[in-house]
C-alpha cells in the first residue's frame, strides 16, 4: 500500500456506511487484483446458506431506480443456474457493471477463474497481464469444447467463457438499467467512452409500471441477450464512433 492509502480507504468506508450502515467492509493491505477480490467476495457471500443469489455492482456506475428490482424480478422467473446483466451485451460479453448471479453460476465459473489467477500470477498487479498468452489460453479452451473464443482478456471474459462451457444461462436485460458514470475513471476516460460508444449510453428510467410489462414479455420469450430495445440513436452513434476509432487505429498502424 502507498502512503496515504489508509486515509483514502477510510474515506471510502465512511461514504459507504453513510448510505449502507449495516454493510460489511473488507480491507486489504495490498492490491489483490480484481479476479481475486471478486472470487473471495462471492465465496464469502455464498458461504451463507441462506444466500442463493448475489448482485454485484461496480463503483463507477449510475443505476436506474428499477435496476435491482428488475434483476430480482427476472431471476425469480427464469430457470437456474443463470446470470443476468442489467444492460444489453457489450462487445459480445454481458456487462458486469451490475450483474446478478446464482450460487450455481458462481460455482461453475470458480475453477476457471482460479486457474486464470494462478496461471498468469494475477493475485496482485492485475494490470500487468500477458494479453497474448491469455488470449491463446482462452482460445485453446474454447476450441476444445467447440465454443467461440472470447476476444477480451479480462476476468469478465474468463467468467463468460466458463459459464458458456458449463451451460449456465446468460441473460442481459433488454433495456439499459446501468451505465458508466461520467467520463473519468478506469472505464470512463473520454477515449474509452468514444471508442466503445459508452458516451451515448442512456439509462432507461421508466417507472416500474411501464417497465414490468416489457420485462414480462422478455421473460416469456425465455430471456436471453436480446438487444432489440436499445435506442436506435445509441446503436447508431455507438457504431459510428467504434468504426471511426478502428479506422484511425488502422491508419496509424
- Output 32 or 134, whichever has higher pLDDT: 134
- For 83, the enclosing helix (H) or strand (E) is strand 82-85
Diameter over CA atoms, the chain: 55
Q: Are the C-beta atoms of 110 and 198 separated by less than 8 Å?
A: no
Q: What is the CA radius of gyration of the chain?
A: 19
pLDDT higher than 90, residue 138? yes
| The pLDDT value given to residue 233 | 61
What are the pLDDT digits (tens) for 1-42? 455 677 888 888 898 889 888 888 888 777 777 788 889 999
What's the pLDDT band for 193 if we cut at 50, 70, 90?
Answer: low
Pairing of strands 178-180, 98-102: unpaired
Structural domains of the chain, ranges and CATH numbers in brackets: 1-30 (no CATH), 32-184+204-229 (3.90.550)
| The pLDDT value given to residue 188 | 56
What are the pLDDT digits (tens) for 86-124? 998 766 678 888 999 999 999 999 999 999 999 988 876
- Output 133 or 240, whichever has higher pLDDT: 133
- For 10, the enclosing helix (H) or strand (E) is helix 5-19
C-alpha cell at 170: 446468460
Amino acid at each position: 500500500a502507498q502512503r496515504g492509502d489508509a486515509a483514502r480507504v477510510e474515506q471510502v468506508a465512511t461514504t459507504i456506511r453513510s448510505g449502507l450502515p449495516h454493510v460489511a467492509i473488507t480491507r486489504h493491505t495490498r492490491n489483490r487484483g480484481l479476479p481475486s477480490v471478486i472470487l473471495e467476495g462471492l465465496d464469502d457471500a455464498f458461504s451463507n446458506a441462506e444466500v442463493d443469489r448475489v448482485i454485484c455492482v461496480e463503483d463507477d456506475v449510475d443505476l436506474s431506480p428499477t435496476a435491482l428490482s428488475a434483476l430480482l424480478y427476472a431471476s425469480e422467473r427464469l430457470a437456474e443456474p443463470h446470470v443476468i446483466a442489467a444492460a444489453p451485451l457489450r462487445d459480445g460479453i454481458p456487462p458486469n457493471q451490475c450483474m446478478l448471479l446464482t450460487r450455481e453460476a458462481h460455482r461453475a465459473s470458480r475453477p476457471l477463474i482460479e486457474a486464470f489467477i494462478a496461471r498468469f500470477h494475477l493475485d496482485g498487479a492485475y494490470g500487468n497481464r500477458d494479453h497474448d498468452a491469455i488470449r491463446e489460453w482462452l482460445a485453446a479452451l474454447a476450441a476444445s469444447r467447440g465454443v467461440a473464443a472470447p476476444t477480451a482478456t479480462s476476468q469478465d471474459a474468463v467468467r463468460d467463457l466458463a459459464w458458456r462451457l458449463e451451460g449456465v444461462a446468460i441473460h442481459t436485460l433488454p433495456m439499459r438499467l446501468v451505465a458508466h458514470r461520467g467520463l473519468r475513471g478506469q472505464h470512463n476516460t473520454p477515449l474509452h467512452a468514444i471508442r466503445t460508444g459508452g458516451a451515448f449510453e442512456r439509462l432507461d428510467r421508466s417507472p416500474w409500471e411501464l417497465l414490468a410489462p416489457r420485462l414480462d414479455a422478455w421473460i416469456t420469450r425465455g430471456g436471453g441477450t436480446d438487444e432489440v430495445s436499445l435506442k436506435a440513436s445509441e446503436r447508431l452513434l455507438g457504431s459510428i464512433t467504434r468504426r471511426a476509432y478502428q479506422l484511425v487505429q488502422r491508419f496509424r498502424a
